[in-house]
Structures are given as C-alpha cells and as structure tokens.
C-alpha cells in the first residue's frame, strides 16, 4: 500500500531547476532512502511534501487522497512529520516542553506530570530512552535527534521525513537511532530518509530512489543494488576514494608547535603540551575521537582561541596569540569545522564570500571604492575551477547545498596561495562526489609544496590522505605513526593506550626528526 505518491513534481528557483518531473512513492511500513549528492534536489522535494515550498507543477497524494500541501499544518494534519537536518529545539527548555511547544493539546495550564508521562510512554514504546525532564542543552546530539522524532510522533505523525539524521552522530548513535526507526516501521510507520551515505542505505533501508541534478535516476529495492551501482547512479561517473598520495620527500618545517596548552570553553585544558611539526609538501593528519582537543588545537593555530602557554611558529614567524588577520598574512589558510557558522556569511553572495578576509586587498579596490568588476571576475573564475553549482555568483550562501558551500570556502582559502593549510573536518556532511573533490584539492596543495594539517574524526580519511598521523588523546599527542600502521594500533592510541611504537613516534616528533 502506497501512503505517499509524488507525481511529476517540478520546482525552480530562478534559473535553477531544483526538481524536474520527479516521481516518488512511499509504501506503508518501509524505510525509503532518497539518495543523492548535495544539491541533487532531495531536500527541496521533501520541503514540498511537508508544505514548506509550493511546487510549480505536479500532484501530491497522501493515502490515495490528492492534497494541496500549502503549509506545514496541512502536512501535520495528514500525519506527516519532518525532522530537519538542523535541529529546531530550544536548549534552555526541557525535553517535554520542547516536544509540546505550540500544541493546543497541552492546554492553557500545563500539567507537567501528565505531559512527562506521555513522553515516557512513547519513549518506552520505541526504545528512545530520553529523560523527559532533562534540559536539551544537557543532551548529546544523538539524543537531541530523538527528541525531534518524538516531537513528530506526539503530533500523531505516521509518516516521518528524516533529513540527514546521522550527519553529526557517532557510529554508536547511528546504530541506536536506526534500531528505534526499525521499531517504528514494524508498527506500521513509514519513513523517508534523505541521505548521501550509501553505506547507511544498504544497511538500514528497504528501497532507494537516487536523484541527480534535480531528476530521479532510478528507484530500486536495496537488496538488488550495491555500493558501485549506487555511486554510479548518484554521481554519474567512477569515484575514487582510495589513497592516491605519491611518495614525496618533505621540505622545511612551515608549522612548528612547541609545548602548546590551550583551554576549552569551560576553562579546562583541551590541548596539553602538544609538540608537532608540519613540513612543506606533507599532510599531517590528526586522528582521535571527537572532543579530545583537535578543534581547540586548530583554532589556536589560526588565532580563534587563546594559547595559555607554548608557541606556534609559522614560516619562521612566531604567531602565538596573534590576530587572525596577522596569521592569514603570515601565510595560513583555514577550512573551519562548521561551514555555515564559521566559514561563510550566509546572507552574503557567492562573490562576496569568495573574498572574505581579502576584501581590503588592493586587488579589489580602486582607491577607496570596491572594484566589483574584479570581485566578480575572481568569483566567476573560482566557481568554474572549483565546480560550484549553480554558477550564479549572485546567489547567497544560504541558497547553496552543503557541498557547494564547502567548495566556496575551499576556493577562497586555496586561492590565497597559502604556505600552510589548516583543514578542520573538511568533508564532514558531504556526499561522495564532493568528498572526492575536496580531498583532491587538499592533496593538490600538498603536492605544490604546502604544509597541510588535516583534522578529521573519519579515520579512513586520515589513513587515505596523510603522510604522517598524529594521534591525540585528552589533549596530548600519544604517537606519530605512518599511514601503513595497523588500524588496531591506531585505535589503541585513540583510546589512550600508548604502545612502544607510539612512544617512539612521540620522541621523534619532539626532536623534529619525524
């Protein structure tokens, strides 16, 4: 039985055709993946189904009833709930208050005991294990994700749209989330999973519809497809994520870190006595479980976090606690860990975002007046070189998909011709095609003789891209090893077990011999 049918849906934003005659259906009790690259039109299609956008053409049927989905209230009334990629929770409120916010069923005077009871009941039914009285700011990201799903379930939704639900979850949280989702489908709920992660599609879903450039490529039962088939449909070409680094003798030390100590936001030591060198023509990967000081280390290098003690030297210049402007002038480029909050000014256009940090340069000025012709020429050149889609440089940052937002940042930073590149989680949340592209550009900088410090919680990425790997645990580098080191040994170091190999690597890096 089909509970959702989308028939020839079309949607355009100016010249950008986000959806072109898209047909899609959802069966009762299934998990149906909507797979595609960033910008393929997946979220646009589901925003139409949820009433956030109106379609230019096409029909929507819910339980065999044709519906004019003019706003989200209509969708909710039809039993559709949507969990967005960026959570819509108020951190200062409890789980229960977040769940019932805006619902007239909660009454004028809140009976918190009754509301907490309702949350507990649905919790136990589906195994979410969320404390109704906990404040949202106290909860890990994986639990916050469950709160968003509970919000939809409390509103009697039996069709759930999950937009990239695992983008920021740990592997354990992913397992727990899909265990709960499978319990939902066993009771007759139906789930649409928007994703670009092919492994999740194969492991957790029943059917998959692949989109590319606003069109449906194919719909298949998951049991009838595999990784290579999905990649070919999704990207339209062969994708290589294997190690492609050619052996290369590194040059002089361009980034030197000595006995560095940096605090986190609570005033505790996040980086505790780190020694590390990065040489010209090499990528040094920082491996570790998220939250072990990687972010604080990267932010201290680029001037976004205060150094408590120790020194940072870039191209022979002491830049410890220098301003970000001076560090940029010293030859450093920075890909931040959060492209939307730290990498772009979302209301600015692509052409404006392309010169952030360089807007004062004489290249873009005629006296006191901005030379917009040069700004536009620069943006047009970079969107072509870095394959930013669409090519419209007048679009704002918020109108781009995540992968294309990351390409704008990468284009801007690399075009500065830096000597040192600090890349923090550069492929987080990207699809397979964008991952391949970003990795190739970073490796290209290494091959040009630049020093690259790569911070990633994706161990496969670290192994694929690094000349040397520094393993961090509780703010300390426990060892510096080669990419051919067994994963088990690296995993032990990531867990705080310092072996003989790790101790040797640490001694080498401290003496500048690694």
Q: What is the pLDDT of residues 27-81, one digit of tens each?
A: 999 999 999 887 789 999 999 999 999 999 999 999 999 999 999 999 999 999 9
**Is the overall model pTM greater than 0.85, yes or no?**
no
Q: 106: pLDDT confidence band, cut at 50, 70 and 90? A: low
| DSSP for 122-170, written as a single string | HHHHHT----TTSBGGGS-HHHHHHHHHHHHHHTT-SEEEEESTTTT--
**What is the rounded average pLDDT of the residues 434-462?**
94
Task: Give the integer Cα–Cα distance in Å for 380 and 354.
Answer: 10
Predicted local distance difference test score (pLDDT) of residue 129 = 84
* pLDDT surpasses 80 at 412: yes
Among 294, 238, 301, 255, smallest CA distance to 470 is for 294
- Token pair, residue 478, equals 């426990």
Q: Is the backbone of residue 158 left (phi > 0), alpha (psi -120 to 50) or beta?
A: alpha
Rounded Cα–Cα distance for residues 187 and 504 (Å): 55
Q: Report the percentage of the chain scoring pLDDT > 90.
A: 67
CATH (residue range 2-90+155-235): 3.40.50.300
- Mind spelling out the 3-state secondary structure of 264-311? CCCCCEEEEEEEEEEECCEEEEEECCCCCCHHHHHHHHCCCCCEEEEE
Top-ranked range on mean pLDDT: pick from 196-205, 227-236, 345-354, 386-395 = 345-354
Burial class (CB in 10 A: 0-12, 13-18, 19+), 475: buried
- Residue pLDDT, tens place only, 325-340: 999 999 999 999 999 9
Q: Do the domains at 2-90+155-235 and 332-417 have one common CATH topology?
A: yes
Which pLDDT score is estimated for 239?
76
pLDDT of residue 139: 86
At 266 the pLDDT is 80
494 close to 463: Cβ distance less than 8 angstroms: no
Tens-place pLDDT, residues 486-512: 988 998 898 898 765 444 444 444 434
CATH pick for 252-330+420-433+451-514 out of 3.40.50.1010, 3.40.50.2000, 3.40.50.300, 3.30.390.50: 3.40.50.300
**Domain ranges in the chain?**
2-90+155-235, 252-330+420-433+451-514, 332-417
Question: What kind of fold does domain 332-417 have according to CATH?
Answer: Rossmann fold (3.40.50)
Per residue in 249-299, pLDDT (tens digit) is: 999 999 999 999 999 988 889 999 999 999 999 999 999 988 899 999 999
The reported pLDDT for the residue numbered 238 is 73
Which of 195-204, 263-272, 361-370, 394-403 shows the lowest per-residue confidence on average (mean pLDDT)?
361-370
Backbone angles phi, psi at 467, to 5 degrees: -80, -40
Q: What would the two tokens of residue 193 be?
A: 């999973």
- pLDDT tens-digit profile of 214-245? 999 999 999 999 988 998 898 887 777 788 88
Closest CA to 161 of 274, 48, 318, 293: 48
Output the pLDDT for position 29: 96
Long-range contacts of 22-26, Cβ-Cβ distance < 8 Å, separation of 24 or more: 22/58, 22/211, 22/214, 22/215, 22/216, 23/216, 24/209, 24/216, 24/219, 26/2, 26/159, 26/190, 26/192
């Amino acid at each position: 039985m089909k509970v959702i049918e989308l028939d020839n849906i079309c949607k355009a934003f100016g010249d950008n055709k986000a959806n072109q005659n898209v047909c899609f259906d959802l069966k009762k009790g299934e998990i149906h993946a909507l797979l595609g690259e960033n910008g393929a039109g997946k979220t646009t299609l589901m925003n139409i189904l949820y009433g956030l956008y109106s379609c230019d053409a096409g029909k929507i049927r819910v339980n065999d009833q044709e519906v004019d989905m003019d706003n989200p209230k209509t969708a909710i009334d039809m039993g559709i709930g949507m969990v967005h990629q960026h959570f819509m929770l108020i951190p200062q409120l409890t789980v229960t208050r977040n769940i019932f916010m805006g619902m007239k069923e909660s009454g004028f005077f809140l009976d918190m005991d009754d509301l907490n009871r309702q949350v507990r009941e649905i919790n136990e039914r589906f195994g979410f294990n969320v404390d109704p009285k906990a404040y949202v700011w106290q909860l890990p990201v994986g639990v916050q994700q469950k709160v968003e799903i509970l919000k939809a379930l409390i509103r009697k939704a039996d069709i759930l749209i999950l937009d990239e639900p695992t983008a920021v979850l740990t592997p354990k949280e992913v397992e727990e989330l899909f265990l709960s989702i499978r319990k939902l489908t066993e009771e007759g709920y139906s789930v649409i999973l928007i994703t670009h992660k092919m492994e999740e599609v194969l492991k957790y879903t029943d059917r998959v519809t692949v989109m590319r450039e606003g069109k449906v490529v194919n719909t298949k039962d998951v049991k009838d497809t595999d990784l290579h088939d999905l990649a070919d449909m999704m990207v339209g070409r062969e994708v290589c994520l294997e190690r492609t680094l050619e052996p290369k003798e590194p040059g002089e030390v361009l980034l030197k870190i000595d006995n560095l100590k940096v605090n986190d936001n609570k005033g505790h030591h996040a980086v505790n006595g780190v020694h590390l060198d990065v040489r010209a023509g090499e990528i040094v990967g920082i491996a570790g479980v998220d939250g072990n000081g990687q972010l604080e280390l990267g932010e201290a290098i680029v001037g976004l976090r205060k150094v408590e003690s120790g020194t940072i030297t870039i191209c022979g210049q002491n830049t410890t606690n220098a301003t970000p402007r001076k560090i940029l002038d010293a030859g450093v480029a920075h890909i931040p860990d959060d492209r939307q909050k730290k990498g772009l000014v979302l209301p600015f256009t692509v052409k404006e975002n392309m010169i952030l940090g360089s807007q004062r340069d004489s290249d873009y000025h005629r006296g006191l007046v901005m030379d917009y012709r040069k700004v536009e020429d620069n943006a047009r050149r970079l969107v072509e070189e870095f394959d930013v889609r669409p090519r419209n440089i007048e679009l704002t940052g918020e109108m781009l998909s995540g992968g294309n937002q990351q390409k704008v940042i990468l284009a801007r930073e690399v075009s500065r011709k830096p000597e040192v590149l600090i890349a923090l989680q550069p492929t987080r949340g990207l699809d397979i095609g964008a991952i391949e592209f970003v990795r190739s550009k970073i490796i290209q900088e290494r091959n040009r003789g630049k020093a690259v410090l790569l911070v990633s919680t994706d161990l496969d990425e670290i192994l694929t891209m690094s000349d040397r790997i520094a393993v961090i645990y509780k703010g300390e580098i426990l060892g510096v090893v080669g990419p051919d080191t067994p994963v088990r040994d690296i995993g032990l170091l990531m867990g705080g077990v310092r072996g003989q190999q790790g101790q040797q690597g640490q001694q080498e890096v401290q003496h500048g011999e690694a």
